[in-house]
A and B are shown apart, each in its own frame.
Chain A
């Protein structure tokens, strides 16, 4: 068994990754909506997003709606693949009992 991916193997980052993975692969989500779905503070979410972005698992798109800056987020193909691998590894560890 390979080691579990340390980038995702932390509860907050796993929750963020799982939420982004539940979106359509062609979709991006605004920071406030993701924050609302996760119930995390803005600071905590930003910290973990930065780590996911550094690992090239999350793409951060900064744009404007009128004069208001908005940040949109989505999983990169590498992030989606890492999440799927991680989920499979967990299932194997648990012997498929929760599959």
Chain B
């Protein structure tokens, strides 16, 4: 926020400044508003980057037959993985709602529909997976199905986000996660979990760093 030398004059706000200062005011306010409304973007990337990198690594370390140097029991590993995903979803929801507070209109509509697309798609993928398991799909195949399907969901919604907000970052990360969704099944269970951790996790974390740099430059 721009500061002025004379607080009384600034408090009244009637006095014009010289053109250079007025232009600086415009640029300052534009940046303030854009940062305030876009401040949540790096948070999404970081919480999901950590959830995917750490979560899938822990899941892989707990999976029977993994070559992990540190092996974990499967049940706690799955609980840690699920807790990280649930935490990331909860943080994203809170941050998304907070960033849009006090704003009504087009952005609210777009944000609400986009935000709700995640649980809608997530539940649909979960239910299809459960149906497949009931039809006899093994846990190994189900793990491959869930890992790739959720990554493909992220791809689809990141591509939609890139289209809505004209975000190159979302486009690139979405495509990288799309590649991860496509190639990880060929590593087989449980190495698909390791591959997903190592492709998607760093891509999201790099997105977070880039988003912070972009916000600072905005």
| A interface residue numbers (CB < 8 A to B) | 4, 9-15, 18-19, 21-30, 32-34, 37-41, 44, 48, 72, 74, 87, 90-91, 93-94, 98
Chain B residue numbers with a CB within 8 Å of A12 are 10, 12-14
26 cross-chain CB contacts under 8 A:
A10-B15, A11-B4, A11-B10, A11-B14, A11-B16, A11-B21, A11-B22, A12-B14, A15-B25, A15-B28, A18-B26, A18-B28, A19-B29, A22-B34, A26-B107, A27-B103, A27-B105, A29-B104, A30-B104, A34-B102, A38-B1, A44-B13, A90-B19, A90-B23, A91-B23, A98-B23
Residue from A19, A39, A72, A90 within 8 A of B33 (CB atoms): A19
Chain A residue numbers with a CB within 8 Å of B12 are 12, 44
Chain A residue numbers with a CB within 8 Å of B1 are 38-39
CB atoms of A10 and B103 under 8 A apart:
no
CB atoms of A28 and B104 under 8 A apart:
yes
Residue from A9, A26, A72 within 8 A of B16 (CB atoms): A9
Interface residues of B in 29-71 (CB under 8 A from A): 29-30, 32-34, 36-37
Chain B residue numbers with a CB within 8 Å of A15 are 2, 13, 25, 28-29
Residue of B nearest to A14 (CB): B25
Residue of B nearest to A26 (CB): B106
Chain A residue numbers with a CB within 8 Å of B33 are 19, 22-23, 37
Chain B residue numbers with a CB within 8 Å of A94 are 19-20, 23
4 closest Cβ pairs, A-B complex: A12-B13, A33-B102, A26-B106, A30-B102
A22-B29, A29-B104, A98-B24 known; 18 other A-B pairs, CB under 8 Å? Answer: A4-B16, A11-B4, A11-B17, A11-B25, A12-B13, A14-B22, A19-B32, A23-B103, A27-B107, A29-B102, A30-B103, A33-B102, A44-B12, A48-B13, A87-B26, A90-B19, A90-B22, A93-B19
